[in-house]
Structure 1
Amino acid sequence: MNTTPPIEYEDASPEVRAIFDDIRQTRNTDYINNIWKCLAHHPAVLRRTWEGVKEVMGPGVLDPVTKEMIYLAISITNNCGYCVASHGAAAQKAGMSDDMFGEIMSIVGMANETNRLVSGYRVPIDEIFQQLRD
């Protein structure tokens, strides 16, 4: 499968440039990641995805390192090399240590193992957990 070529700022439409400008301003950087450059082929998808990421990864109850480590863990599970690299770097920048990364890897590995066991054995959900969900 061919890769989607990134669209550079100078080659982007005015609509895409506006989104790139928002990314730069929001992140306080001149750098635009390849994900945004590739999504620029479809401005509606670019805008929707950027708005979602901006909302979810922006200020909230969880601190930035926790958010990035959660994103990293899910990216590892989904086997997304791009997101592992991107959010791994962001997590380190936000304060994730090597020991924290090692612990995340242990949790990701164990959660994947137990999830597969539960799915394979079709383990019924305990009544006490059902009450918590209701």
Structure 2
Amino acid sequence: MGTVPLLSDEEVSAEALAVFEDIRAVRGTDFINNFWRALAHDPVTLKATWERLKKVMGSGALDPLVKEMLYVAVSTANGCSYCVHSHTAAAKARGMTAEQHGELLAVIGMAMQTNGLVTGLQVDVDEVFRA
């Protein structure tokens, strides 16, 4: 259960509605997800988050599918169920196959296991790995 009600287009401020319209235009959809509707209670944070997300997830050196898969991995590590679901859906929409999803989950699981082991053992970082 959310801690704030999800705001409809009719309930949001003019500033928040402008962000919603930009989301719709950039994504080519009329759908505004629950994250944005909850964040609309604070139009300043809504706008800042959307602007940053557009830059980070937009065109760049990394393929858009890779970015979505990275988002799934980090969301898994952070325990954000909402983000795991939304970015898995986005990755699938960008062409992630069932095989790629399986490998992604295997890498996430392997990293979590080895991270736990090395953290528990407090293994010193090899000098050749230091940047």
Please state how far the C-alpha of 1:5 moved relative to its aligned partner.
Answer: 1.0
Divergent runs of 4+, >3 A: none
2-structure distance, mates of 1:42, 1:53: 16
Partner of 1:97: 97
Partner of 1:119: 119
C-alpha distance after superposition, 1:50-94 (max 9, x if no partner): 111111101111111111111011111212111111001000000
Percent identity between the two aligned chains: 50
Structure 1 segments unaligned to the other structure (5+ residues): none
2:129 is matched by which residue type in structure 1?
F
Partner of 1:26: 26
* Coordinate RMSD, CA, aligned: 1.1
2:85 is matched by which residue type in structure 1?
A
Partner of 1:86: 86
Please, what TM-score do these two structures have when normalized by structure 1? 0.94
**SS of equivalent residue, structure 1 residue 11:** coil
2-structure distance, mates of 1:2, 1:75: 18
2-structure distance, mates of 1:76, 1:19: 27
Please state how far the C-alpha of 1:2 moved relative to its aligned partner.
Answer: 5.0
**SS of equivalent residue, structure 2 residue 10:** helix
Partner of 2:46: 46
